[in-house]
């Protein structure tokens, strides 16, 4: 898989997991109260992004999510 496709795919997976984690906060009361929940989703995506770049975690990922040149 090309790196130009892999990067957006990894970002989409990270964002999806972060939004799923924040979903209970978003479902309670829509509106301005969602700002902290959306901030939590962005922070969750950032944490997942950082974790997915660790070599030990990257070895656990499926081959289609791994970076080029890594086992």
Average pLDDT over residues 46-70: 77
Contact 11, 42 (CB under 8 A): no
Residue 28's pLDDT is 65
Could you report the per-residue pLDDT of 40-57, keeping only the tens digit for each? 777 888 888 788 778 888
The 8-class DSSP code of residue 31 comes to: S
Could you report the per-residue pLDDT of 14-42, keeping only the tens digit for each? 888 877 777 776 666 666 666 777 777 77
This prediction has a pTM of 0.51
Residue 63's pLDDT is 80
């Amino acid at each position: 898989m090309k790196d130009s496709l892999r990067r957006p795919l990894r970002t989409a997976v990270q964002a999806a997991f972060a939004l799923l984690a924040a979903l209970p906060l978003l479902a309670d009361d829509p509106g301005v109260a969602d700002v902290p929940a959306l901030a939590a989703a962005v922070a969750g995506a950032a944490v997942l992004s950082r974790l997915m770049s660790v070599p030990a975690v990257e070895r656990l990922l499926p081959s289609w999510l791994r970076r080029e040149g890594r086992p």
